[in-house]
A and B are shown apart, each in its own frame.
Chain A
Amino acid sequence: MADAHPHAMAPTRPGKTRTAPPQRPPQFPMGGRYLAYTAFGWTGLIYLLLGFLVIEAVWALGDGAAAWQEQLLRYEHPVYIAFHVLALASVVFVGVRFFRLFPKAQPPRIGPAKPPPQSLIHGTLYAVWVGATVVFGAILAGGLF
């Protein structure tokens, strides 16, 4: 079956209703509620850098003991420490903001089933986040396995 064009249902010409041209809100990007919105967007840069830094670490692990040890030593440099403090703050900020949004984004009903209360979804997400962090951290630190 051929896929429909994504704009197949769009009108062929603009409607008669006049609309105002889009305007940037006066408080954008750093005023009022836009500060958190803008900061949330810019965490994307931190995640991009983190992804490539983890790739670099895994690559070093594959290169052997000397490369791995060198990689761990590099993390002691103040620039890396400062970046990773910022990265930790970013990751926690993203988690808190996203997990607050997630319960509100659930559909009111999926077939015959209703989703659990928002507070339960919210609490479960936090429990999974904290639990996974403790377990994963303990594995990495040598406390498990």
Chain B
Amino acid sequence: MKHLLLKIEPLIWLLFGQGILLGTILLTGWILVVNLGVPLGLISDDGLAFQRAHELGSSLVGRLVLAALCALPLWKGAHHMRHVSIDSGGAGRDAVVAPLLYGVAALGSLLAIAAVIRL
């Protein structure tokens, strides 16, 4: 498993890096509007009406943006939590923790792809 993780490290770093860069850029607007602005009544909920939200989300660009918004933060999260684990408990448990966390991120990415396909 350690050998496999070393071999796919460039892929993990690519997803982790994009999770920080694109994930952070996209999540800021999403949280401000969908998770805080509309629920707190600071922004009208007309923009998130089902018909409009579905039309936007089911377009090609919409699906790509939503897939990135769902999947990339998972890889940033998994990679950082792996290093939190190493920092706090040593590298001994990494053989279990790393596959577990990356497995969660991979499973979440598959769910994200399924979620945007079924829109």
Contact = CB atoms under 8 A, between A and B. Distances in A.
B30 A136 contact: yes
The binding surface of chain B is classed by DSSP as: helix
Nearest to A129: B25
Given A51-B70, A69-B50, A94-B20, A58 B32 contact: no
Interface string B27-70: 11111111111111001111110111110110000000110011
B38 A40 contact: no
A24 to B, nearest CB: 9
Given A58-B116, A141-B43, A47 B25 contact: no
A84 B31 contact: yes
Contacts of B105: 48, 51
Given A29-B87, A45-B81, A87 B116 contact: no
Given A41-B87, A133-B25, A142-B44, A61 B57 contact: yes
Contacts of B31: 50, 84, 87-88, 91
Nearest to A3: B7
A139 B65 CA distance: 12
Nearest to A78: B39
Contacts of B73: 47-48, 50-51, 54
B78 A48 contact: yes
Contacts of B40: 81
Contact of B118 (A52, A62, A129): A62
B6 interface: yes
Interface string A72-102: 1001100011001101100110110010000
Given A47-B73, A85-B36, A141-B43, A91 B78 contact: no
Contacts of B83: 41, 44
Nearest to B46: A142
Contact of A68 (B6, B50, B78): B50
A121 interface: no
Interface in A29-64: 29, 38, 40-52, 54-55, 57-59, 61-62, 64
8 contacts: A45-B77, A51-B77, A54-B30, A72-B48, A132-B25, A136-B26, A140-B47, A142-B52
Which A-B residue pairs are the 9 nearest by beta carbons?
A: A142-B47, A44-B80, A48-B77, A136-B29, A47-B77, A51-B74, A84-B35, A137-B29, A65-B50
Interface of B: 3, 6-7, 19-21, 23-40, 43-48, 50-54, 56-57, 65-66, 69-74, 76-81, 83-84, 87-88, 104-105, 108, 111-112, 115-116, 118-119
